[in-house]
Amino acid sequence: MCGIIGVTGRPSAVDDILAGLRRLEYRGYDSSGVVAVLEDGLGVVKRSGKLDRLDAALATAPLAAATGIGHTRWATHGAPTDANAHPHLDPAGRVAVVHNGIIENYRALRDDLAGAAFTSDTDTEVVAHLVARELDGPDGVDLLEAVRRVSGRLEGAYALCVVSADEPDTIVVARRQAPLIVAAVDGVGLCASDVAALIEHTDTCAALLDGQLARIRPDGYTVVDADGTAAAADEFTVDWDLSSAEKQGYEHFMLKEIHEQPVAVAETLLGRDDGAGNVTLDELRIDPSELARIDKVFILAAGTSLHAGMAGKLAIEHWAGVPVEVEVASEFRYRDPIVTDRTLVIAISQSGETTDTIAAAEHARAQGAPVIAISNVVGSTLARAADGVLYTRAGPEIAVASTKAFTTQIVACLVLALHLAQRKERLFASEARDVLDRLDTLPALVQRVVADDTAVLAAAERFKDVGYTMFIGRHGGLPIAYEGALKLKEVSYLHAEAFPAGEMKHGPIALIEPGSLVVAVAHDGHVFAKMVSNIQEVRARGASVLAVATASSRDALAEHADVVLTVPDAPHELAAPLLTVLPLQLYAYHVAVLRGADVDQPRNLAKTVTVE
């Protein structure tokens, strides 16, 4: 959730840090700060609010240094004030720390520092005190060893980045659960919480593994394990260029990313089989024969990724013939799930850093279940922890509201369902190739939908002030009803909720009255007639109905709905959600813009939730 960047070896270090923090804004934050290692000690500027405030403060008090670290904070302990903004220093001002995560035992550690003066309410500040005490201790340790000793006393999740006035060209980092990457290029040492902050400097990074630390200097970095022994970080190449993280002319990242979906879907489909229909995964670190024995699947995720999993469930049960439970990740490990070594866990996470999803997957793995990750970030914590990975190849998703990740996650689920069906010998390669050939028509169909949002914009203008919207759907339309409701509420702040259309009579229909708005996802297929009945029921009670239809269902809906948003027929019924979601993404976007909401960084939300 917080953003970290460190630079050593460049006279413009502070400018580089500010630029990097701006690339991390999408993570959501409410304060920011910079510390520079000056000739006469540490220089610190930090402010609550947006980066513009920090920029303005630096303009009046510039920090000229070749080494520094920066931070954008999303408050967890302590309100978003100047004092609570990172970095945090020890009382003598010789050590500065920025941190992403939660140190769960910080109060006990503070208690051990009886008499120490603290200037903030944060958990992070205690780290600066402890590191300084190690440096001032009798052993004469250096910064890396001091941070290593301190990090061994911390409980919880952290990505730490530390500088000291005594080692002016050195940055030390440590990670447990919260992501950290390091790089060294052309005499400059770098670290950051994610690649977006570094892609203008390098395309080769290394991800620290849990428990690892690194000392970064202009001539390179050294990685050690928690016990101090030399180690190797997980090096990877980033194929995102800087422009792909910019808006490329769109008003908002959300709109840009909606329009990137044709390419994202095409990329995610690319090379998924050997040409003859034998479907493969990006990385598989378990024996394929294990998958043949699977007799149960759990799909674990949060938010939009959970809704993609709901669509994935239908495909896995249809092709692989295995029962699938889709579960909110944050619930899974706090109950008693029945997990055996024949249970497969599919963990879906765009960022690959969602604590709830990672923790749930690790909980299942600890009970013997193999884990396959579907993630959009190469080298993410979830991807590296899993036994198999399918990357969604959607490119950086900057907007908090997830769009292209969602459609590519459904593609990945379809591919994975085919792969599982083949491992269980339920699908011939030729049949899988036929399905993939049909799915290969999706990018062009997605392009047709996003290319013309005239009807969607008209609907948004008509309904933008409706205070409550009910979304309904059945089978493949139900995940889209949930996703459409989430999109609308998270970017426009209007209340919206989704129900299985078959549930209406069991309660929700009591909400319907003249003026109600119901969004009905009604693609052609085996439950279409039932959707028409549900639409008639709410219409008879005075609701306005905004229907999402496919070309084959449009005419039958025209007489029952007030507005019909039409998408092309899907190449397979299980792929229909990829198309029916598009008008609802655009609808949520336009309503939010019309209402003047902060589309890319909605209030209270962060792009990645790396705390419980």
Catalytic sites, residue numbers:
2, 607
Q: Residue number with the shortest CB distance to ligand AGP?
A: 303
Tell me whether strands 31-38 and 67-73 are parallel, antiparallel or unpaired: antiparallel
DSSP notation for 312-369: HHHHHHHHT---EEEEEHHHHTTS-----TTEEEEEEESSS--HHHHHHHHHHHTTT-
Is residue 179 part of the contact set for ligand AGP (CB under 6 A)? no
User: 302 or 576, CB closer to ligand AGP?
Assistant: 302
For residue 205, what are the CA distances in angstroms to 192, 238, 243, 521? Answer: 10, 7, 18, 43
Residue of the chain from 350, 469, 534, 601 that contacts ligand AGP (CB under 6 A)? 350
First CA to last CA across the chain, in angstroms?
11
Tokens of 51: 């980066």
Q: Does 469 bind ligand AGP (CB under 6 A)?
A: no
**Of these, 43, 87, 303, 370, which contacts ligand AGP (CB under 6 A)?**
303
Neighbours of 77 (CB within 10 A): 16
Nearer to ligand AGP, 95 or 609 (CB): 609
Residue 610 tokens, joined = 């790396």
What is the token pair recorded at 211? 């428990």
Minimum distance between the CB of residue 253 and ligand AGP, rounded to whole angstroms?
12
**Interaction between residue 311 and ligand AGP (CB under 6 A):** no
User: Of residues 205, 315, 609, 611, which one binds ligand AGP by CB under 6 A?
Assistant: 609
Contact flag: residue 351 with ligand AGP (CB under 6 A): yes
Q: Nearer to ligand AGP by C-beta: 261 or 402?
A: 402
**Cβ-based nearer residue to ligand AGP, 122 or 350:** 350
Residue pair 154/113 in contact (Cβ under 8 Å)? The answer is no
- The window from 187-195, 302-310, 385-393, 571-579 that contacts ligand AGP (CB under 6 A) reads 302-310
Phi, psi of 519 (to 5 degrees): -100, 120
# residues contacting ligand AGP (CB under 6 A): 15
What b/e readout covers 31-55, taking b as 16+ CB neighbours within 10 angstroms? bbbbbbbbeeebbbbbbbeebebbb
For ligand AGP, give the closer residue by CB, 213 or 480. 480
Pairing relationship of beta strands 495-500 and 468-473 according to DSSP bridges: parallel
Strand (E) positions, 104-250? 156-164, 171-176, 181-185, 188-192, 204-207, 213-217, 220-224, 230-231, 234-237
From candidates 184, 197, 302, 531, binder to ligand AGP by CB under 6 A:
302
Contact 8, 217 (CB under 8 A): yes
If the CB atoms of residues 6 and 352 are measured against ligand AGP, the closer one turns out to be 352
Task: Say whether residue 122 binds ligand AGP (CB under 6 A).
Answer: no
Give the contact letters, 402-421, x = binds to ligand AGP (CB under 6 A), - = no.
x-------------------
Which among 284-292, 350-358, 441-449, 472-480 is the span making contact with ligand AGP, rule CB under 6 A?
A: 350-358
Question: Quick check: 516 binds ligand AGP (CB under 6 A)?
Answer: no
Contact between 392 and ligand AGP per CB under 6 A: no
Minimum CB distance to ligand AGP smaller for 170 or for 357: 357
Minimum distance of ligand AGP from residue 496's CB (angstroms): 13
Torsion-angle region of 428 (φ positive above 0: left; ψ -120 to 50: alpha; else: beta): beta
Nearest distance from C-beta of residue 502 to ligand AGP, angstroms:
25
Indicate the residue among 164 and 177 with the shorter CB distance to ligand AGP. 177
Residue 349, interface with ligand AGP (CB under 6 A)? yes
The pair of structure tokens assigned to 95 is 């050590």
Q: Binding to ligand AGP by residue 354, rule CB under 6 A?
A: yes
Tell me: does residue 490 bind ligand AGP (CB under 6 A). Answer: yes
Residues 6+ apart with CB under 8 A from 99: 2, 4, 71, 86, 88, 123, 124, 127, 158, 159, 160, 161
Question: Other CB atoms closer than 10 Å to residue 571's CB: what's the count?
Answer: 18
Q: Does 401 bind ligand AGP (CB under 6 A)?
A: yes
Among the residue ranges 202-210, 351-359, 492-500, 551-559, the one whose residues contact ligand AGP (CB under 6 A): 351-359
C-alpha–C-alpha distance, residues 359 and 349, integer Å:
12
Binding positions for ligand AGP, rule: CB under 6 A: 302-305, 349-351, 354, 357, 400-402, 490, 608-609
